Structure 1
Amino acid sequence: MYDTIPVTEIMVEDVVTAPPDATATEAATLLRDEGVSSVIVARDGDPVGIVTEGDFATQLCERRDLGHVELSAVMSTPLTTVESTASIVDAVELLQSSDIEHLPVVDGGNTDDHGPLVGIITTTELSYYVPHLARERGRPETTLTRRQVRTDTKYERDDWAFEYHSADESTVAVGDTARFSKSITDDDVEAFADVTGDTNRLHLENDYAAETRFGERIVHGVLANGLISAALARLPGLTIYLSQESSFRAPLPIGDRATAVCEVVEDLGGSKYRIETVVLDGDDTTVLEGSAVVLIDDLPPIAVNERDAATTESSD
């Protein structure tokens, strides 16, 4: 089925571009202001190179001042592109074989003579729509790298997303909101079943699930509820779960990118807070809703020391 779906159906059409003579600082500003992970370097509408967040990290290590360096000097080239008529399976294979995460879509081939730029597809878009394709094509799970970027979690992964909105991001207060999202894959469901013993065939067998009211396999409700725990774990401080009430409103299909939204609604005193919790599916349909009570302790000394060390290093 995926061989017949063109990349144009899932590509991002609003591509952020810059000319070859733009400075690296101008491109970095575009990355920040547009909230994207890459800028396509284009000349007269045709792509000639690309600069990504990873490129900037590399260049910052090798150059002291990028303010006046033109993109033509730091962009990745030759550029790998994919035709707009190609399938998403073709895109997966190109991303894997080229070991890249950003693939411009053009009208006119993937040779050195690129056609007009019409969009871009990345591993992020693929994880939203077809999270299992990479596994089917033999891509190891380790390509979704684990990163140590916080002092309160052991690791993060590139396909996870977390946002925290607060007047003071170092503390918890009424009105704060936290969002955590990830795709819940077939591997996630199978691992959860194996660890917990909940091997209900509704979650594990296609033919069995097709004959139920849902018509397809769905994610365990408690696994979906776990996204709330993931969001709460990233609140400022050490989060300790005291209680959770949840009502399940809709099934969550396997492969959907689910999002937990947590809003602090009441300060109960003694560093305890009541939080309204919601999990949404990829279409923003409410899968479950409820409330939680958490206790926020101070981080242990080891985490505080690591945080202070990281702050000192970044300011040097």
Structure 2
Amino acid sequence: MRDTIPVTEIMVEDVATAAPDATATEAATLMRGEGVSSVVVVRDGEPVGIVTEGDFATELCERGDLGHLELSGVMSTPLTSIAPTASIVDAVELLRSSEIEHLPVVEDGDDHGTLAGILTTTELSYYVPHLAHRPDHHEAEPARRRVRSDTLYERDDWEFEYRSADESTVSVGETARFSKTLSEDDVEAFAEVTGDTNRVHLDAGYAAETRFGERIVHGVLANGLVSAALARLPGLTIYLSQESSFRAPLSIDERATAVCEVVEDLGRAKYRIETTVLDGDDTPVLEGDAVVLVDELPPTAARERDATAVQ
């Protein structure tokens, strides 16, 4: 469980530090040499402040030359820190409430705090990308619900429809539809997880100067809605292949719908599926063709399904 993972398991132990009387130039050189984005300011072994790349950018807007300015004049203080025994969820909440991106891990001693490491949104994003990015959106997320035997959870703002004469099997002519809004949080989390940080998806100013005129959803993320629809077909659906053509861009925060129609029984529990993703105006943004293998549900899930059907 994420709420029990201590910050010590993911923090960076090798922290760049400097004294309060070190110059901004020395700190900037240290950041560049160590490949880090912050320097913790330490006096007599105790962390008392922090200087980040953002601090330098702010100060440069107000001062013409930082060269010989001491860190005591630009550092953020009092220092916001967290204990080594705190969980990474505690760290996310503290970063969120303090509106910071760097969190020194400090162990309190008898005389002063001891610097144990540092945690940033970069480390956290590997474990909790949906928490580390745009927390206000996360707080408003609909609650998870366990309502199906073939998916771990559902959300109230997701919609699924399966049109068939017999909802217990897959047959030619049946159609599955899955809808959800692809939010800014979704796009940013997808970029972090996959590494696809193309600016047309993440940078509004950059995207405005492209042919799209705005940020757009990753095409593969939109294709993921097809996978979501197929996952809810009767049985255990295993993706074998997918061919897709991207027809139009999909705007961020637009509700999209995947439509999957079973068009051919290939034998041995394999089926060919025509796949389409529609935007909020029912314009196709993606069209394609998939092949899936439909296995029986594992025994436990099958019993859960049968018990639900009896109720």
**Larger radius of gyration, structure 1 or 2?**
2
The TM-score with structure 2 as length reference comes to 0.56
Deviations 1:196-235 (A, max 9, x none): 0000000000000000000000000000000000000000
1:211-290 map, 5 Å: 211-290=209-288
Aligned to 1:152: 150
Partner SS for 1:170: coil
Aligned length: 179
Distance 1:140 1:262 in 2: 29
Distance 1:136 1:283 in 2: 27
- 1:136: how far off? 8.5
- 1:181: how far off? 0.3
Q: Which amino acid aligns with 2:175?
A: T
- 1:144: how far off? 0.1
Distance 1:220 1:138 in 2: 22
Distance 1:143 1:190 in 2: 15
Q: Does 1:310 align with 2:304?
A: no
- 1:180: how far off? 0.2
Partner SS for 1:252: coil
Q: Which amino acid aligns with 1:219?
A: V
Aligned to 2:15: none
- 1:309: how far off? 2.7
Aligned to 2:187: 189
The percent of aligned pairs where both chains have the same amino acid is 75
Distance 1:137 1:295 in 2: 38
The TM-score with structure 1 as length reference comes to 0.55
- 1:310: how far off? 2.7
Partner SS for 1:223: helix
Deviations 1:112-135 (A, max 9, x none): xxxxxxxxxxxxxxxxxxxxxxx9
Distance 1:171 1:218 in 2: 36
1:1-316 map, 5 Å: 138=136, 140-141=138-139, 143-312=141-310, 314=311
Q: CA RMSD in A?
A: 1.7
Structure 1 runs (4+) deviating above 2 angstroms are 135-143, 308-312
- 1:141: how far off? 3.5
Structure 1 pair 184/139, CA: closer, same or farther in 2 (3 Å)?
Answer: closer
- 1:143: how far off? 4.4
Partner SS for 2:160: strand
Q: Which runs of 5+ in 1 are unaligned?
A: 1-134
Distance 2:212 2:138 in 1: 31
Distance 2:136 2:288 in 1: 39
